[in-house]
Amino acid sequence: MKPRHPAPLNALRTFEAAARHLSFNAAARQLFVTPAAVSHQVKHLEAYLGVALFQRHHRSVVLTAEGQALAATLGEVLGQLDLAIDRAMSGASAELRVTTMESFAAKWLAPRLHRFHRAWPDIRVRIVTDDAHADFAREGFDVGIRYGPGGYAGVHAEPLMAAPLFPVCAPSLLAEASRPLARPDDLRHHTLLHDESASGRPGVPAWPDWLKAAGAAGVDAQRGPIFGSIYLAQEAAVAGHGIALGVAPLVEEDLRQGRLARPFAHVSDNAYRFWLVRSPAEPSASADAFCRWLRDEASGDPASAPRTRE
């Protein structure tokens, strides 16, 4: 076989950015170079490979079949390279990158993370919150926690916790004699707090589903403000602004601290659950330790928390 010169790494990185954006201009902005420099690097790579990677049009570029094949794996390979470099540079101070949604980070992870630090003081955990699914290879994440139906591509995923739903409110609302909360029907006298993210997701209960299952009559299930996230609806309930449908793991700490109460016993099952997702790369010892700790912490059952009344 004819000997081959080493692959031009800079050209590969430039091509990957151009292929991901399908734009030399956007790739140039990401890489802090000029569009002409991007074009030069892509041409250099095409000459090295002996194939065309883009079809160039007047105002756009389109990947060729060869370009698509190369781009399909190059992002993951470069992401793993960046991660390996980061880990080598960090030396003995191991940093574990964790991605999750804001509500889970604030309501479940943050209140108990000190226990992990006490057990593993040498592992520095960096929490990044985003509701979008992370690209583990490109963004260098080791562990993620996601709320959804499962079926996550490109990662190893395992169920972490079920996510049943039940009404929650500030304890002060339970003490109002003029507006009792003795039966589900009594919700007609109260403001219902809605989570927009639950709408349109098959198997994820919203207020109409819970009211029907609980046998409530005469309650307008559409009444009340709509919030853009579970976290905001729950915070409005803590503030005493109405009744929210709480996702069990996310209300566990507020129930334990007395910031929220459960007025009714009925619990609705949820097709969504919390998932532990991991990078498909070789797991690190710190990621293994963190995942074991997550499983231990998740072994409780917040849906079994008693109803609380003042």
pLDDT in tens, 252-274: 999 999 999 999 999 999 999 99
CATH number 3.50.50.60 given to 9-87: no
- Per-residue pLDDT for 291 more than 90? yes
Give the CB-side neighbour count of residue 18, counting CA atoms within 13 A: 32
Q: What is the mean pLDDT of the chain?
A: 86
Of 197, 214, 204, 213, whose CA–CA distance to 270 is shortest? 204
pLDDT digits (tens, 9 = 90+) for 130-144: 877 766 766 778 899
- Per-residue pLDDT for 43 more than 80? yes
What is the DSSP code (8-state) at residue 268? Answer: B
pLDDT band at 2 (very low <50, low <70, confident <90, very high): low
pLDDT band at 305 (very low <50, low <70, confident <90, very high): very low
Q: Which residues contact 112 (CB under 8 A, 6 or more apart)?
A: 297
More confident residue, 157 or 307: 157
Q: What is the rounded average pLDDT of the residues 185-209?
A: 90
What angle separates helix 248-256 from helix 230-238, to the nearest 10 degrees? 20
Instruction: Pick the most confident of 25-34, 192-201, 245-254, 292-301.
Output: 245-254
The pLDDT value recorded for residue 167 is 97
Strand spans (E) along 130-224 = 143-148, 156-162, 165-168, 192-195
**Domain layout of the chain by residue ranges:** 9-87, 92-310
Q: What is the rounded average pLDDT of the residues 227-237?
A: 92
Rg of the chain, C-alpha, whole Å: 25
| Helical (H) or strand (E) element with 275 | strand 273-278
The pLDDT value recorded for residue 110 is 93
Phi and psi based region of residue 13 (left: phi greater than 0; alpha: psi -120 to 50; beta: remaining): alpha
User: What is the rounded distance in angstroms from the CA atom of residue 162 to the CA atom of residue 160?
Assistant: 7
- Per-residue pLDDT for 114 more than 70? yes
Q: What CATH number belongs to 92-310? A: 3.40.190.290
Q: Is 234 exposed, middle or buried (0-12, 13-18, 19+ CB in 10 A)?
A: buried
Q: What is the rounded average pLDDT of the residues 38-60?
A: 91
Q: What is the rounded average pLDDT of the residues 98-114?
A: 92
The pLDDT value recorded for residue 90 is 55
The percent of residues above 90 in pLDDT, for the chain, comes to 58
Residues 270 and 218 sit within 8 Å (Cβ to Cβ): no
- Per-residue pLDDT for 281 more than 90? no
Range in 32-46, 53-67, 171-185, 291-305 with the lowest mean pLDDT: 291-305
Residues 219 and 249 sit within 8 Å (Cβ to Cβ): no
Q: Residue 167 in 3-state DSSP?
A: strand
| Residue-wise DSSP of 5-74 | PPP-HHHHHHHHHHHHHT-HHHHHHHHTS-HHHHHHHHHHHHHHHTS--EEE-SS-EEE-HHHHHHHHHH
pLDDT digits (tens, 9 = 90+) for 233-257: 999 999 999 999 999 999 999 999 9
